[in-house]
Amino acid sequence: MSKNLIEVEGLKKYFNVGKGRVLKAVDNINFTIREGETLGMVGESGCGKTTAGRTVLRLYEPTAGSVKYNGVDIFKLPTGKMKAMRRDMQMIFQDPYASLNPRFTVQDIIGEALDIHGMAGSRAERKKRIEELLDMVGLNHDHATRYPHEFSGGQRQRIGIARSLAVNPKFIVCDEPISALDVSIQAQVVNLLKELQDRLGLTYLFIAHDLSMVKHISDRVAVMYLGKMVELAESEELYANPLHPYTKSLLSAIPIPDPEVEVNKKRIILHDELGTPIYSQNEETDQAETQLIEVSKGHFVAKAFA
Amino acid sequence: MASDHNMNLKPEDFLKIGVDEKEAEVIQRESLSAWQDSWQRLRQNKMAMTALVILGLIVLAALIGPLFSKFNYYSNDLLHTNKPPSSDHWFGTDDLGRDIFVRTWYGARISLLVGLAAAAIDLLIGVIYGGIMGYFGGRVDNIMNKVSEILYSIPYLLVVILLLVVLEPSLGTIILALTITGWITMAWIVRGEIMQLKNREFVLASRSMGAGSARLLFRHLLPNAVGPIIVTITLSVPNAIFAEAFLSFLGLGVQAPIASLGSMINDSLTGWLYYPWRFLFPAVLISLTMLSFNIFGDGLRDALDPKLKK
C-alpha cells in the first residue's frame, strides 16, 4: 500500500453568522488520502463539501485542525513556503463559466501559474508548455489566443483542467468539476481526469453530489452531512453496505433505469433527525456525531450510528 | 402503416460520415476580445455614435476654433458693443465688445478642461479608495465606508461655496471644489464591483496558484470592473461641466477676463431679451455637450454589458 499523501486531522471551519451563532461548515473531519488514490466526497448542497475542499488547500484559514501534505502541516507554513507549496496542490472548479477570467486569453489563463512561479524562462518556453497542456486536455493550439466566452462548457472545463496542471501538481481537489456540464460532456471530462491520473500519477479529492459518477471514479468515498463526515469506506463497500441513515437515504435516491424496479423502490426520507449545523457561540458538538469508528476493515461510520 | 414497406433499411444503408474529433473543436467565429466585442456593439448604436461625433467636433472646435478668428478672448472694443452676429463677429459681441465666437470656444475649452480634470481626479481617488474598501472588506471597509458616507451627507454646495470663498478663486480651486466630494460615487461603484468580483471563482483560482494581492487587484479585479468605471466617468464629466457652469453663473467660478460657458451666460443675463445671441451660443453649446456626454455614456453602458449581447 502506498503512503498517505494527505492527512486531515480535526479540521474545523466555522463561519460567524451573527447574533452569537456560528455555522459549523466543516466540523471536526478526519481523513487521509493515499498517493495516487481518488477519494470521493459526497453530500447534499450546503453540507460543507466545497468549504472542506477549499480549506484543505488553505484557500480558507481553518478554525482548528491540521492538513498535512507529505507530513508537512500546510497551515503552519509562512507565506513564501505556502506559495511554493501551491505548486503541488491545485484545484479544479465547479463552474466553468465563473472560473475563467473573461478578460484573459486562454494562454494567459493557463500561463498565469507559470508566470507566478517563474516556471517559464522565455516566451518560447512558455508557449511550448501551454501547447503541451492544451494537447493534454484535447484542445487545439490555435485556441490559445481565444477568449473564454468563445468556448462551450466542456471546453472551458478542460481549459480549467489545463490551468491546474500547468504547475505539475501532485494533488488536485476537484470541486464538482462536472456538475455544471450536461451528461454527455460529464463522461468526457471524467474520463479525461482518470486518464490524466494514470498518466501523471495524480491524487484526487473528488467532490460531487452525483453518487453514480463518484462510484465510477473513486477508490473510497466519504459522506458529508451538515458539516460532519458521517461515513467513509471503500466505494463498493459503501454502496453495498451503508450504515449511516443519511448514506442510506442518499443511496436510495439514486434513480434506477428500470421503471419496474424504480416504482417499487422504497425511498428513505430523513426528517431532520440530525439537527442543524448552526450552533450558539460556545456550544460544543456532540463527540458521538463527529468521531468515526471503524466497524469493519476500512469502513468508518460516526460513533452515534456504529 | 403505409410507409412500412419503404422502411426496410439495413445497417449497410447508412453511411457513416463521422466527425473528426479535432475538427469538432475548431471555432469558426472570428476571435474578438471583450473590447472589440463592445466596440462592435457600440458602433451599431446610431445615437451613441452621433453623440461621439458631436463630442469630437466640440473638442476639435474648442482646440482650434479661436485660431480661425482675428480676435482674441480678452480685447475690448468699445465702439462695437452688443453687436449681433455679422461677417466680422460670427457670433456677435458682448457688452465690452469682445468677440463671442472666440469666447464661446475658449469657454468650452475651460469647461472641458474642468470636466476632464475633475473626472480624472475622481477616477484616481475613487478607484484607490473604493478598491481598498472592496478588496479588504470587513472592518476596513466599515470605517472607510462610514467616512465617505459622512462626507457625502454634508451639503455639497455649502462645501464648495465655503472653499471658493476661503481659497483664491482660480481654475485649480474650482477643480478642487468639484472633486472634494465628487470621488465618492466612483469609490462606491468600484467597491461594489470589487466585492462582487472577489468571490468569483477565477479570483479564487488565481489565489490557489499563489497570486498575491497586487496581482489579484490589478490583473483580475480592476480590469473586470473597467466597464462600470468608464461609464461612471462619461457620466461624471458632464456633471463637472455643469457644476462649473453653475458656479461661474453664481459668480464663484473663473474670474474675468477668462471665459467659461457659465460666466458668459451670467454676463449675458443683463440684457438677454435685447441681445439674445450673447446668451444663446454658450447655452446651446453647454446643452449640446452635456446631452452628447449623457447619450454616449448610456450607449457605452449598453455596449459594455455582455448580457445585452445579441
Using one digit for the tens of pLDDT, what is the confidence trace for B214-237? 888 888 898 888 888 888 888 888
Q: Mean pLDDT lowest for which of A2-6, A289-293, B25-29, B189-193?
A: B25-29
Q: What is the mean pLDDT of residues B183-188?
A: 91
Residue B19 pLDDT class (50, 70, 90 cuts): low
Give me the amino acid identity at A41: M
Identify the CA nearest to A35 among candidates A172, A192, A136.
A172
* SS3 track for chain A: CCCEEEEEEEEEEEEEEECCEEEEEEEEEEEEEECCCEEEEECCCCCCHHHHHHHHCCCCCCCEEEEEECCEEHHHCCHHHHHHHCCCEEEECCCCCCCCCCCCCHHHHHHHHHHHCCCCCCHHHHHHHHHHHHHHCCCCHHHCCCCHHHCCHHHHHHHHHHHHHCCCCCEEEEECCCCCCCHHHHHHHHHHHHHHHHHHCCEEEEEECCHHHHHHHCCEEEEEECCEEEEEEEHHHHHHCCCCHHHHHHHHCCCCCCHHHHHHCCCCCCCCCCCCCEEECCCCCCHHHHCEEEEECCEEEEHHHC
Q: Please tell me the predicted confidence (pLDDT) of residue A92.
A: 93
In this predicted structure, what is the pLDDT of residue B23?
A: 63
CA-CA distance, B254 to B87, in Å (whole number)? Answer: 30
Q: What are the chain A neighbours of B211 within 8 Å (beta carbons)?
A: 112, 116
Mark yes or no for CB contact B224/A151 under 8 Å.
no
Amino acid at B243: A
- The pLDDT mean for chain B works out to 82
Q: Which residues of B touch A167 (CB under 8 A)?
A: 209
Those residues of chain B whose CB sits closer than 8 Å to some CB in chain A are 21-22, 25-27, 29, 31-34, 200-202, 204-211, 215, 220, 223-224, 306
Q: Say yes or no for a CB contact (<8 Å) between B205 and A140.
A: no
How many interface pairs between A and B have CB atoms less than 8 angstroms apart? 81
Q: Is the pLDDT of residue B306 over 70?
A: no
Whether the per-residue pLDDT at B272 is higher than 90: the answer is no
Model pLDDT, residue A245 = 86
pLDDT band at B310; cut points 50, 70, 90: very low
Task: Indicate whether B8 pLDDT > 90.
Answer: no
Contact A113 B210 (CB under 8 A): yes
Nearest to A95 among B21, B201, B211 (CB): B201
* Helices and strands, counts by H and E, chain B: 12, 0
Backbone angles phi, psi at A103, to 5 degrees: -95, 0
Q: How far is CA B119 from the centre of its chain?
A: 8
Kindly determine whether residue A86 and residue B209, on different chains, have CB atoms separated by under 8 Å: yes
| A150 → closest Cβ in B29, B205, B220 | B29
Question: Looking at beta carbons, which residues of chain A come within 8 Å of B209?
Answer: 86, 90, 112-113, 116-117, 163, 167
Q: Which cell is A296 given?
A: 469493519
Q: What span, in angstroms and rounded, lies between the C-alpha atoms of B189 and B206?
A: 24
| Grid cell locating A112 | 498565469
**pLDDT winner (highest mean) among A205-214, B35-44, B93-102, B267-276:** A205-214
Which pLDDT score is estimated for A306?
67
* Interface list for A 74-93 with B (CB within 8 A): 82-84, 86-87, 90-91, 93
Comparing CB atoms, the residue among A117, A145, A163 nearest residue B205 is: A163
Q: Do A138 and B26 touch (CB under 8 A)?
A: no
What region does B69 belong to: left with phi over 0, alpha with psi -120 to 50, or beta? beta
Residues of A in contact with B34 (CB under 8 A): 102-103, 147, 149
| Cβ pair A265, A252 in contact under 8 A | yes
Q: What is the rounded average pLDDT of the residues B120-127?
A: 92
Q: Is the C-alpha dihedral spanning B249, B254, B257, B259 positive or negative?
A: negative
Helix (H, G, I), strand (E, B) or coil at B25: coil
Rg (CA), chain B: 28
Phi and psi angles of residue B174, each rounded to the nearest 5 degrees, phi first: -60, -45
Listed in sequence order, the residues at least 6 apart from A10 whose beta carbon sits closer than 8 Å to its beta carbon are A28, A29, A30, A64, A65, A66
- Rounded Cα distance between A112 and A106, Å, is 10
Nearest-CB residue to A147 (from B25, B33, B208): B33
How far is Cα B127 from Cα B188, in angstroms, rounded to an integer?
A: 9
Q: Which residue has the higher pLDDT, A8 or B270?
A: A8
Per-residue pLDDT of chain A (306 residues; tens, 9 = 90+): 578 899 999 999 998 888 888 888 898 899 999 999 999 999 888 888 999 999 999 999 999 999 999 989 999 999 889 999 999 999 999 888 889 988 888 999 999 999 998 888 788 999 999 999 999 998 888 888 888 888 888 899 999 999 999 999 999 999 988 888 888 888 888 999 999 999 999 999 999 887 888 888 999 999 998 888 989 999 889 888 888 888 888 888 888 888 887 777 777 777 766 677 777 777 777 777 778 888 888 888 887 776
Could you say which DSSP state residue B94 is in?
Answer: -
pLDDT by residue (tens digit) across A49-107?
999 999 999 999 999 999 999 989 999 999 889 999 999 999 999 888 889 988 888 99
Distance between CA atoms of residues B134 and B196, nearest Å = 9
Q: Is A57 on the interface with B (CB under 8 A)?
A: yes
